[in-house]
Amino acid sequence: MARTRIPPVAGGLAAAVAVVLAAACWVVFPPEIAGRALARPDVDLALPWPDEGQASAEVQGLGSLGSRGERGPVPIASVTKVMTAYVVLKDHPLAPGEAGPEITVDEQAQAESTAPDESTAPVRAGRRISERDLLALMLIPSGNNIARLLARWDAGSQEAFVEKMNREAAALGMTDTTYTGASGVEDSTTSTAEDQLRLAREVMKNEVIRSIVATRSLRVDGVPGSVVNTNTLLGRNGVIGLKTGSSTAAGGALMWAAEVRGGALVLGVVLHQNPGGSPAAGLRAALENSEKLIAAIQRELPAATR
């Protein structure tokens, strides 16, 4: 059978129509990564997104700066403690500057303070420490033993507390998040950058958390020496928080908050940086890649929003 020849003009028209249809489909059905639509940013900047892992950022009051990288849940290590603080303060709210109730350090928290291969805070059984100071010991030096102590104090057991964490995650629409412990030491606690960005949006409304995560170092009665923040970006490029995380499986992770010129608050999450290597190397990668991202936003955002 002879093949029908399409005249050049008709062929050109068909190609043009195909291009128009493809462009329309791009708008209506954006491209997908790992089976999920990649939403267009509300503020489109040329940003140095990390080459691996996943990242997401937004400007409060303006909208999304976009997301990049893998889309599935990954281990988040000590970024988990942000949800722990959120649940504790929801159950036991504190006013700005308020210390809150004193909580007795139990034998388990003391025993865990010398646990190898974990970030801990040195506390002694029987010592009474305020709720706010315990939150600081959990968020600033990332004390795993303190996270579990707060979970037991709040809910009676870490298991019961984890149920609360997952209920709050569901209420915030964090559909790709599963918490299995209060500290993040478990590799089975997984989430995505977009889900953790939802949480960052909520916790930065809390003045107590904002104040704690912006603290570079402090002293707590009964705890030797100064407590130093693991977030070394504080005070640079407008950074005012939030929380680091690192483990072999998670690599490095950082939930961050920064103020840009004009007073806008930018929130971001970088996960799964250099997974499989040492936790220290992963954390360095998360901090370095986040700093590049934040510095670029500081440069580009004011001009883009004039």
Say what the pLDDT of residue 306 is. Answer: 67
Q: Which of 81, 113, 119, 191 is catalytic?
A: 81
Domain region containing 270: 40-304
Can you spell out the DSSP letters for the chain?
A: -PPPPPPHHHHHHHHHHHHHHHHHHHHHS--EETTEE-PPPSS-------SSSEEEEEETTTEEEEEEE--S-EE-GGGHHHHHHHHHHHHS---TT----EEEPPHHHHHHTT-TTS------TT-EEEHHHHHHHHHSS--HHHHHHHHHHHHSSHHHHHHHHHHHHHHTT-TT-B---SSS-STT-EE-HHHHHHHHHHHTT-HHHHHHHT-SEE--TTS-S-EE-S-TTTTSTTEEEEEEEEETTTEEEEEEEEE-TTS-EEEEEEEEESTTS-HHHHHHHHHHHHHHHHHHHHHHHHHHT-
Residue 13 within a domain: no
The pTM for the full model equals: 0.86
Q: Which of 56, 67, 119, 142 is catalytic?
A: 142
The count of domains in the chain is 1
Residue 34 within a domain: no
Residue 31 within a domain: no
Residue 17 within a domain: no
Is 67 annotated in the active site?
Answer: no
Say what the pLDDT of residue 303 is. Answer: 75
Residue 205 within a domain: yes
Say what the pLDDT of residue 39 is. Answer: 58
Say what the pLDDT of residue 11 is. Answer: 45
Per-position pLDDT tens, the chain of length 306: 443 343 444 444 444 434 334 333 333 334 433 333 345 687 788 899 999 999 999 999 899 999 999 889 999 999 999 999 999 999 999 999 999 999 999 999 999 999 988 999 999 999 999 999 999 999 999 999 999 999 999 999 999 999 999 999 999 999 999 999 999 999 999 999 999 999 999 999 999 999 999 999 999 998 998 999 999 999 999 999 999 999 999 999 999 999 998 789 999 999 999 999 999 999 999 999 999 999 999 998 887 766
Residue 85 within a domain: yes
Residue 64 within a domain: yes
Query: 298 to each of 158, 270, 301, 304, how far by Cα in Å?
Result: 40, 17, 6, 11
Say what the pLDDT of residue 43 is. Answer: 79
Query: 158 to each of 84, 161, 201, how far by Cα in Å?
Result: 11, 5, 25
CATH number at residue 71: 3.40.710.10
Residue 14 within a domain: no
Say what the pLDDT of residue 30 is. Answer: 41
Say what the pLDDT of residue 19 is. Answer: 35
Is 78 annotated in the active site?
Answer: yes
